[in-house]
């Protein structure tokens, strides 16, 4: 595995074979994809930390979904990725949808965990308030945010029986730069949806049956608007799908890629 720094963005690249670009969500890093790496062993994986997140926190100016899309395009250009399977989680799925709509020649397929076209309007003020809390309170604010997300965005079984998964979610959030996280919240709160009619590649949508952020009914509505989509619902799973149900996510991805051969 090699870490590249592309315009202050940390990008891990590993393996050989067909390219897979993996885009994490709000509060995540490239590490949310570690559970899927055995399934992707025959591919070259490209795993950025989005601008403002993880090791890419040092970034100037406001963040936006378009800025994330442009960052992904620059990473692909720097690493000579001409066509890729794109995998996303949460906010990363919004970025992935926009990539597929605007650059169809780049995107071979989409595999999206906890997928969103955009946040519902009712959720946007809360996302902005969370960003302001991170900015004004710093690290203590991030700890409170992490604990609230564990309670609200993971399944009951995860909280009760998977302490390592809970620790991973908390650590991912608590290690974020508060200002970078705040700007990422602002980007998510302002996100506009890509046009589903412009997305024609094969798409896998995976949701947990206890996902309060991308609930199954909302994901089903997305699937109905796409040209070639299949959907899987994971039992006893919240929004942090790859952390809460790594084997089920790997199995879903393996079945999806087998269908594409």
Strands 43-48 and 9-14: antiparallel
Average pLDDT over residues 237-251: 98
Please state, in angstroms and as integers, the Cα–Cα distance from residue 112 to each residue in 24, 33, 89, 254, following that order: 10, 12, 6, 13
CA atoms of 42 and 212, how far apart (whole Å)? 33
Q: Over 80: is that where the pLDDT of 184 sits?
A: yes
Q: Over 90: is that where the pLDDT of 105 sits?
A: yes
CA atoms of 152 and 247, how far apart (whole Å)? 22
Looking at residue 1, its pLDDT comes to 75
User: pTM for the complete prediction?
Assistant: 0.97
**Superfamily, domain 2-118+194-260:** Alpha/Beta hydrolase fold, catalytic domain (3.40.50.1820)
Q: Over 90: is that where the pLDDT of 261 sits?
A: no
Q: Give me the residue spans of the domains in the chain.
A: 2-118+194-260
Looking at residue 174, its pLDDT comes to 97
Residue 57 binned pLDDT confidence (cut-offs 50, 70, 90): confident
Average pLDDT over residues 16-39: 97
């Amino acid at each position: 595995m090699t870490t590249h720094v592309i315009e202050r963005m940390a990008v891990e690249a590993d393996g050989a074979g067909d390219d897979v670009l993996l885009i994490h969500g709000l509060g995540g890093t490239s590490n949310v994809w570690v559970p899927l790496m055995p399934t992707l062993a025959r591919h070259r994986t490209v795993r950025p930390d989005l601008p403002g997140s993880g090791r890419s926190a040092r970034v100037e100016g406001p963040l936006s979904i378009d800025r994330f899309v442009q960052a992904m395009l620059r990473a692909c250009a720097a690493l000579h990725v001409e066509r890729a399977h794109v995998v996303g989680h949460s906010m990363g799925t919004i970025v992935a949808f926009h990539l597929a709509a605007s650059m169809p020649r780049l995107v071979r397929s989409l595999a999206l965990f906890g997928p969103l076209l955009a946040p519902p309007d009712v959720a946007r003020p809360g996302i902005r308030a969370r960003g302001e809390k991170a900015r004004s309170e710093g690290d203590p604010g991030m700890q409170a945010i992490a604990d609230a997300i564990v309670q609200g965005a993971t399944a009951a079984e995860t909280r009760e029986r998977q302490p390592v998964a809970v620790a991973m979610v908390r650590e991912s959030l608590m290690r974020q730069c508060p200002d970078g996280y705040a700007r990422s919240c602002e980007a998510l709160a302002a996100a506009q949806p890509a046009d589903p009619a412009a997305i024609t590649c094969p798409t896998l949508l995976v949701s947990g049956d206890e996902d309060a952020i991308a609930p199954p009914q909302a994901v089903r509505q997305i699937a109905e608007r796409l040209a070639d989509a299949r959907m899987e619902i994971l039992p006893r799973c919240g929004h942090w799908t790859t952390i809460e149900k790594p084997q089920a996510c790997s199995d879903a991805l393996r079945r999806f890629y087998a269908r594409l051969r």
